[in-house]
């Protein structure tokens, strides 16, 4: 009974942590000497003109791999031993799983893939920044349409 409660508590805690990782805020992008307040990266639709395109390197982690790995490791560790040995195995599994999960996430994100930061001046005067995997035939000065966080020629 106690192990069932422990597993349920770990799953609830993991769900809470993962939902906390989902951020709706965006980091503005500042274009050097441009004093227009930066670029908003919210994904909405609109029409505008490409102000700049920059190559950015993908990679890094946001912690979700560590959280999921820690939960899986704790669940596996909880199946080993009994009493204090089970507790120690659960903790060791959580720590090891978190380390492995973080490593897997970092390897998955660091494929050396170039991404493109496309900065757009919208018709209403706002600035938006969109990061996508390809620029296709987009060039600075093109009229574009933003739909669901992607940029298309207009």
Q: Any idea where the domains of the chain sit in the sequence?
A: 1-26+61-111, 31-58+113-154
Q: Please give the pLDDT value at position 24.
A: 39
Contacts of 65 (CB under 8 A, 6+ apart): 101, 102, 103, 104, 105, 106, 108
Contacts of 116 (CB under 8 A, 6+ apart): 53, 54, 55, 56, 131, 132, 133, 134, 135
Q: How many CB atoms neighbour CB 63 within 10 A?
A: 16
Q: Please give the pLDDT value at position 56.
A: 81
Q: What is the pLDDT of residues 34-50, one digit of tens each?
A: 433 455 545 456 899 99
| pLDDT-above-90 percentage for the chain | 19
Q: Please give the pLDDT value at position 77.
A: 87
How much is the pTM?
0.43
Domain covering 31-58+113-154 in this structure, CATH number: 2.40.50.840
> Mean pLDDT over residues 10-33, rounded?
48
Q: What is the pLDDT of residues 65-107, one digit of tens each?
A: 888 888 898 898 888 888 888 889 899 988 988 889 888 877 7
CB 42 within 8 A of CB 60: no
**What are the distances in angstroms from CA 54 to CA 46, 116, 119?**
20, 6, 8
Higher pLDDT, 53 or 4: 53
């Amino acid at each position: 009974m106690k192990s069932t409660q422990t597993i349920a508590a770990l799953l609830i805690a993991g769900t809470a942590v993962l939902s906390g990782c989902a951020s709706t805020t965006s980091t503005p992008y500042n274009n050097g000497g441009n004093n227009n307040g930066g670029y908003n990266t919210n994904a909405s639709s609109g029409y505008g003109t490409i102000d700049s395109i920059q190559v950015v390197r993908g990679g890094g982690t946001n912690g979700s791999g560590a959280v999921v790995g820690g939960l899986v490791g704790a669940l596996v560790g909880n199946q080993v031993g009994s009493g204090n040995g089970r507790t120690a195995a659960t903790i060791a599994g959580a720590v090891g799983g978190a380390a492995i999960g973080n490593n897997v996430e970092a390897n998955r994100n660091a494929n050396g893939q170039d991404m493109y930061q496309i900065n757009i001046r919208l018709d209403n005067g706002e600035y938006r920044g969109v990061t996508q995997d390809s620029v296709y035939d987009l060039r600075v000065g093109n009229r574009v349409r933003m739909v669901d966080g992607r940029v298309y020629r207009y």
